[in-house]
Amino acid sequence: MVDWRNVAAQLDLYVDTIWAEPTELHPMIPGDIDSNPGPDPARSIIKTQAVFMKPGADIVGEAGAARAYGGNVHQIVQDTWISICDAKLVVDLTQWRQHDRVFFPWRDEWWEIAWISPSATMRPDIHLLRVQAADV
């Protein structure tokens, strides 16, 4: 019998080798009505590799299949995330928080964590919101 975790690890290695890019997590303390968010000195910046995902929602995943078979499709306003292996999180998934910033050096782009989708396959999705340059 084949262990599905070994198969998943092989697939993750293949996906990351082809599509992963340098990614940095910048921990932040959320701002309020009077202040912008600021760096969280209690947590370190984490440099790792992740796959940047911004697909055409109409043609991928379960939504595409649901539409093809006449099912209901729930449209998500935010469709950008990073896909990352647990091993590449560097710290426990709970250390990644809403409002932390994600920086992609190759793209020179900043994003903010909106929410996190844990994964039984040990490859969670971290959903992102685009940050304007003046807000970095």
- On average, the pLDDT of the chain sits at 82
Residue 48: give the domain boundaries.
Answer: 4-31+40-135
The verdict on pTM exceeding 0.85 is no
So what's the pLDDT on residue 127? 92
9-23, 27-41, 53-67: the lowest-pLDDT one? 53-67
What band does 70 get if pLDDT is binned at 50, 70 and 90? Answer: low
Distance of alpha carbon 58 from alpha carbon 60, whole angstroms: 6
| Number of domains forming the structure of the chain | 1
- Residue 9's DSSP bridge partners are none
Closest by alpha carbon to 124, among 96, 84, 95? Answer: 84
Alpha helix (H) residue ranges in 1-136? 4-19, 61-68
pLDDT-based confidence at 60, cuts 50/70/90?
very low
Tokens found for residue 21: 């890019």
Q: Where are the alpha helices (DSSP H) in 58-123?
A: 61-68
Q: Is the dihedral of CA 81, 89, 23, 42 positive or negative?
A: positive
Task: Give the 3-state secondary structure of residue 30.
Answer: coil
27-50 pLDDT, tens digit each: 999 877 677 788 999 999 999 999
What's the whole-number mean pLDDT along residues 14-35?
A: 88
**φ, ψ dihedrals at 62, nearest 5°:** -65, -30
Q: What is the DSSP letter of 32?
A: B
CATH number of the domain to which 126 belongs: 2.40.10
What pLDDT sits at residue 72? 54
- Over residues 109-120, the mean pLDDT reads 91
Q: What tokens were used for 73?
A: 């499709």
At 91-106, the pLDDT tens digits run: 888 888 999 999 999 9
